[in-house]
Chain A
């Protein structure tokens, strides 16, 4: 393998592009975590077997890629030319797809996507509403590269931004360009990226570090996972450009151990980049030296916070420290350290290639560019989406997400994870923008958007987040450790029918103290989920406190399950399904009954009943 230099880079990338043109058909198979869980690997096996049988191996290129975003419909396949999109593919579909779609250029109707709103089949990927309404400048790259093949990335124009930067720019110019673009951190805080780079560049001390934060602990968000799994080189290129701008020598990717595929792909990518001379000493012969190591996290949410992450990188427990001195000045090993999130870094190569103006023309006044959101919960089309900042939540939930998944009305969206909040339907016309969402008690955060319908109890959601945060609190600050447990106690009281209005006031008071007296963002923003639910869904709290009822039928102490004698056909499904043996089997063919003593109120019987005989009140 030739080592790349600034001079031979273009020649080599042209050669790779030429090689790729030798194929006249390309099958792109999504092999992200979602599609793998849906069985795409057996589809791949069957694909290879069938091509071999038909002696087509070598004529048709199969590219296994990272996440395409539409995880709900997996396993996914796109055939080019033609942009034909097949979904929910099984190994059994492969022979027909090859003989019809590849050999005869016909469309296999039964594997096409069906639009749930119109019931019509759609053949081309770009015509599917889920994709049509998006602006996928980062996510679209996933489809073009095999994450384990650096050649794919180079053929798609990869590392050309690095070449441009090293050949023709000064570090200050790079920072200036990022500043002009208005790029802000995609990990939660929304801090200006260029300002971070600048202060790290100015800080004294050597060596300096560039760290990629892939410790995506927010429940409900998985964009960093998909970018790192699907296109690790774009992150590496972003880190290299940051390293050049800052003057850093070493780098690390701090990634969750729960993301094995992301760990594997970034390892392979680093190895390939090292071999080509894109990482290591004297990169591209231009004098920059930079290496990257992978550090796996230990499953602690608080390690997404910069100083805790750095403590963890040093092999210690992840406890944040006061930030009177920023980590850009004293971070890892007490040296200047720049920490950027995966998605932030993935934006950098495009900004360098296409210019700051290309990036900043999208978005709002203070929030520029596009942002990836994980759209999940009770919505038809779940998956990863990318839209310009400033898009309204209504557009995201209804146009891209296709509205509610099971006919029940959507009542809220939880945005920003445990630091964010629940916004009610009446605020869905708000644009996604760092400042606007914060003003209304939520935040962009890392971009998790969990849609909730009438079957979700907002008191229960608040309780869920408090439990989560208490579980993840490192315990260093008393306010966070003790405050959160008091808040959880109060909300548990409310959800179990012991709530009073005084307790609710105490909850609000405690929330304020936790927020004011905690050191890091985990504690500071911890009350958000609880406070937004109290603000926007006061009626639900009232029902729990005054009427001792849970309108959504979720809080177990306030509900009870029963079987309607009229509707029960005594089929026995619930009898088999109940994990606690709480269904009483009396006489044969007579309606069943629930033993309230044994009933855990899990609702499994209601879910399995085919006659809607189980009711909750």
Chain B
């Protein structure tokens, strides 16, 4: 087997490795870059004026984040609302429920009707059973849901409900 040239990665000595040199080169060069910069003391910013400007920029960023949270987070609707929940079972049977509730989140409305069961996990409530049909983990089954046919990117305990909403639950298998 021929030994690769030492010029395969400029500035970094050749060392036999199982990984291809083309993969290792960028990482070695990246590490060597920081070693060189930091060994020379790095960049230097110590001007009071620049620090005050940076502090002001940070304050603006914090305010911006707070503003985004206040105005972009879905608002909780107070009072009684009526929603429609359809459940498509594994055998194709479709059952529809009209729920009148004062709950703010979808999980509250479903638990009120005893329609779901689940376990609390790292990412909130993980639904394990809907309308009496439990998932079979050996078949990698899971309950998914949409709102008026559109994908919902929050769990049932984070989904804010409004009057007239329509949700569809269906059993999926696999990833």
A binds B: no
Measured CB to CB, the residues of A under 8 A from B are none
